[in-house]
Each structure stands twice: as C-alpha cells, then as structure tokens.
Amino acid sequence: MVNTLERHRDGREWLASTLVWIAAALVTATFCWLLGDILWHGLSHISWTFLTAPPQNAGREGGIGPILVSTALILGVCLGVSVPIGVGTAILLAEFTTDANLFGRLTRRSLDVLSGVPSIVLGLFGNAFFCKTLGLGFSILSGGLTLACMVLPVLIRSTEEGFRAVPTGYRLSAAALGLSRTTTLVHLLLPAAVPGLLVGLVLGVGRAMAETAALIFTSGYVDRMPESLLDSGRALSLHIFDLSMNVPGGDANAYASALVLVVLLFAINGTASWLAGHWLHRRIVTI
C-alpha cells in the first residue's frame, strides 16, 4: 500500500519535472533558432556601406542610410513630445495627488487603457487626427506624434516610480526649511528621480523603435532621405516589413535590416535593465 503510493508519487514528480524541463528546452530552442537564423543570414550583409548607403531598386540593393535617419527623426519627435507631458503627468500623480483624488484616478485608469490599445488602432487614430484633421499628412511628425501616444503610459509609470522611490525625508526637510514646492521639485526631487525617468525613457525608445503597425498610415513608406519633419519617412521596422512582403528578392536586405533592429533593441533593453539594476535596485518587467 505504502509502496504503491510512493511509486505513484514518484511517477508524478518525474512527469512534472520532465514537463518543466521540456518547456524550458522548447523555449530556449525556439529562441536560438530565431536568433541564429537572423544572425546567420544577416551578418554577411552588414557593412559600413550597408548602414550608410541609400536603398536602391526598391531596397533589394543598397543600404538603409536614409531609413536610419528617418527612424531617428521619428524617435526624436516622439520623445520631444512625450517626455514633457509624461514627466509632468508623473509628477502630478506622484507628488500632488492623493490616491483618492478623482482626477488622478481617472488619469491613471485612462493610461491603463491607453497602454493596451492595439498599435493598429493607434495608427487609425493617428491617420484620422494627425494626418487628416491637423493636416500634417503622411509625415515624420505624424508618425512621431502617434508613437508619443503609445509610449506615454510606459514613460509615466516608470517616472512615477522614480519619484515614489525618493525618501519622504527630502520633502519634509524642504518643507521645514520653507522652500517652495517648485524649488523642492527642481532641486531635490527631480535629480533624485532621474533614474526612474531614464529607465522609462529607454523603455519608451525601445517600444517606439519596435513599432510598425502604428506607422504604416502615419509616417508613410517613402525611402528617400527626409528633408524636413513634414516629409514622409520610412522607419526601420516598416522597411523590414516592406522588403519581406512587397519586394520579391528583398530577403537578403530584410535579414540584414532585421539584424540591425534586433541589435539596437537588445542594446536599448540592456541599458534599461542595467540602469534599473544599478540605480533603482529593482528588476523591471519589459512588457
């Protein structure tokens, strides 16, 4: 009796640990397959000329120079708009509202929903609002503004946590010295909260750079070197999509572009988790 129970239990133990190991092996194998494939096919095409030359023959030949510039410009617009709004909102939520405050609660709830909005829906909105209603057309400006809506929730959450990590003593001492709240904020809280802000910034850049769907109908497809922010410009992720779907024979350059994008993103996410680990002493979940 005891023996059969023991054996039954051992069997289940064995089964469970086999399953767990198989799951882990499966995940690792998929990861290696995916990354290995991109490394293997992409590495041979990467060169300095590839990174700087303009694409030719619809991208089959040539490089990704103008596309990298467009990507950087879109990111610049995105951050230029989202950082002031995001930091302002984070300060208000962390320093100037109680948990019971209605305005604060509504803002938070609305940001929760915003972080879940599918990127293609953001693209629809960007097309209707920035391109049509505001008359910006297919442009780097429209694309950057659309992405700004997308990264705001990440940026705000991370910055807010940065402010909440500042010890209460700072605020009490400042109040006891009779400093104005503006002075306290600018000279004490903001410098102390910089790590949270930076983590949010880096995560936001990563998110924006990986985005494709929101950009198809906002920043457009044009692969020339952009001359102003009102020009259409093709982002790197969109370039990969276009080469693999619409350009027969574009796979080689698509592989190389994918490798560039993945390396950039790994570097960005690595920076974020390094910053979080060293300054905030916590782990971040990059979802």
Segment 179 to 238, residues that bind another protein, using CB under 8 A: 180-182, 185, 206, 209-213, 216-217, 237-238
Question: In whole angstroms, what is the distance from residue 256 CA to residue 249 CA?
Answer: 13
Taking the complex as a whole, how short is the minimal distance between the CB of residue 76 and another protein, in angstroms? 19
Taking the complex as a whole, how short is the minimal distance between the CB of residue 195 and another protein, in angstroms? 17
For another protein, the binding residues in 119-178 under the rule CB under 8 A are 119-125, 127-129, 133, 149, 152, 156, 164, 168, 171-172, 175
Helices 251-275, 2-42: crossing angle, 10 deg rounding: 120
DSSP string, 28-60: HHHHHHHHHHHHHHHGGG--HHHHHSPEEGGGT
Residue 43 engages another protein in binding (rule: CB under 8 A): no
Q: Which is nearer to another protein, 23 or 228 (CB)?
A: 23
Question: Cα torsion at 5, 8, 10, 16 (round to 10°)?
Answer: -140
Longest dimension (CA), the chain: 82
Among 43, 134, 230, 245, binds another protein (CB under 8 A): 245
Residue 19 engages another protein in binding (rule: CB under 8 A): yes
Q: Are strands 55-56 and 61-62 parallel, antiparallel or unpaired?
A: antiparallel
Q: Which is nearer to another protein, 194 or 286 (CB)?
A: 286
Q: Which is nearer to another protein, 1 or 100 (CB)?
A: 100
Q: Which is nearer to another protein, 180 or 228 (CB)?
A: 180
Q: Which amino acid is at 144?
A: G
Residue 252 contacts by C-beta under 8 Å, 6 or more apart in sequence?
41, 45, 60
Give the range of 48-56, 63-71, 101-109, 194-202 binding another protein by CB under 8 A.
Answer: 101-109
Q: Which is nearer to another protein, 59 or 227 (CB)?
A: 59
Residue in the block written with tokens 């790590």: 195
The binding track of 53-82 with respect to another protein, each residue x by CB under 8 A or -, is: ------------------------------
Nearest alpha carbon to residue 192 among 270, 107, 95, 96: 95
Residue 280 engages another protein in binding (rule: CB under 8 A): no
Give the range of 25-33, 56-64, 194-202, 222-230 binding another protein by CB under 8 A.
Answer: 25-33
Residue 225 contacts by C-beta under 8 Å, 6 or more apart in sequence?
54, 65, 66, 69
